[in-house]
Structure 1
Amino acid sequence: MKKFLNIFTVAASLLTLVYCSEAEQPFTEGDSYLHFAKEQSGNAYVELNSGNATFKVPYGVTKAVEGDHNVELVLDQSKSTAVLGTDFTVSSATLPSGSVFGDINLNIKESAAAAGKKAVFKVKSATLPSANFKNEYTVNFNLRCPISSFVGNFTNTESWWNNPGGNFQIVQGTVANQLLVKDFWDVGFDLKLNYNPDTYVITVPDQSTGYFVAQYNGYIYAKPTTAGQVSSFNPCTRQVTLYIQYYIPNVGSYGNQVEKFVGF
């Protein structure tokens, strides 16, 4: 018996609408102010048995620079677990005249990625003023393992749809970059997942669970959360975290829920 059946009358009354808006970025006129070009953090991946990998940290300025400018990353060791020179190295970088964006390369060792270390940076230049926004960037080190080492048996450790603790098989789908959680909705009804092979971000395609609610004359569907959380998996640790919105079309939503799996 599915867990949601036990809480159906409560959940059905909680219809959730979540609206997200992006805050406007500060705009600065005058000098070329230096800042990171991405929000807050990025994930660097090192392939299993490769030894090391290069990760590009993007930066930018508020307007095109005049003349060439040296740009560097400054490690905040108090916030970092990775050690410069031991776990990674940083290349020098120059922002050419007329440019707005550039990259600084990190070379990350496989041992640091396997340990899940991170490095927190400030960006600076002796000849460019620093912006008061996007001035800290975290690089999370991750080990990348083949999908063949990920698929197999999993425990559904946290669940809204089922009672936690159930075991399921996760297999590769019939199309590229697809995973199936076998019999998750019910026997013969698989949970379909699409994933990005570079970032391991999962997209939950809009799909019917196959469960019909007579009270509302409709099937329960699943789709990506509207709360901004990102579903993902780690093929090395064999962990999956899904953020799903359950709903009945033209009726309402059960809200944003979490499904977690750990391989065994």
Structure 2
Amino acid sequence: MISRFVALGDSFTEGVGDDDPGSPNAVRGWADRVADQLARHGEVAYANLAIRGRLLPQVLAEQLGPALEMKPDLVTLYAGGNDLMRPKVDVDTLCDDYDAAVAQLAATGATVVLFTGVDGVEDPLFRRMRGRTAVYNEHVRLIAARHGARLVDMWALRALRDRRLWSADRIHLNTHGHTLIAATVLDALGVAHSVTPTPLDERVVLDRRQQREQNLRWAREHALPWLGRRLRGESSGDGLRPKRPTLSPLTPRGRDQRG
């Protein structure tokens, strides 16, 4: 039985895109949903150290040590997505560090869950990252096999190609997307759960004019501000603290005892 769950990573694990004013940092996300479901099977303590905008070296430098000190029996780790979006990245060196971190986590006896990156083949921008993402994913698959980690293969989740599972910025999952990932993680753990992704109607095909208008709106409202932060050396996570920096108990019904 899982009793100490620690989630590590960036915005994906923090829950960005799944807005919830009642949650820490005003986001919920797949990891919170997983923790709630685990708590239905017994007493669970949960920490989420993820912070949006973090690069893989930052995730490991800031979160690995505290996670090891918590002695979890379940750890989820996803990092590297922000690195892959940079103009230049050494994927091999990046994944050497990732491998070393997973080795430390696995050596504790904890169940470790890793994630591949999403296949952005249907998005004009993220299609350009497809090659480096595929290389990263092969490293992650090998790391998972080497250390006996569970793998959530988001590259193979074709449902994630549907833009309706993503928020308006096209970078973060929305509530539908986070719900799908929560169900997939719980399935990978073999945990019975009641998380059901929302069925979506058949996708509406946009004509070229509609696509162009949508892309221009996205560029104006999301891409340009993101680029501006990069040029200024800023991150969306600057000044933020982890949403759940310490292990805190959840009731068996999946609600935080702090209310």
TM-score, normalised with respect to structure 1: 0.21
Structure with the greater alpha carbon radius of gyration: 1
> Which structure's relative contact order is higher, taking Cα pairs within 8 Å and 6+ residues apart?
2
More helix per residue: 2
More strand per residue: 1
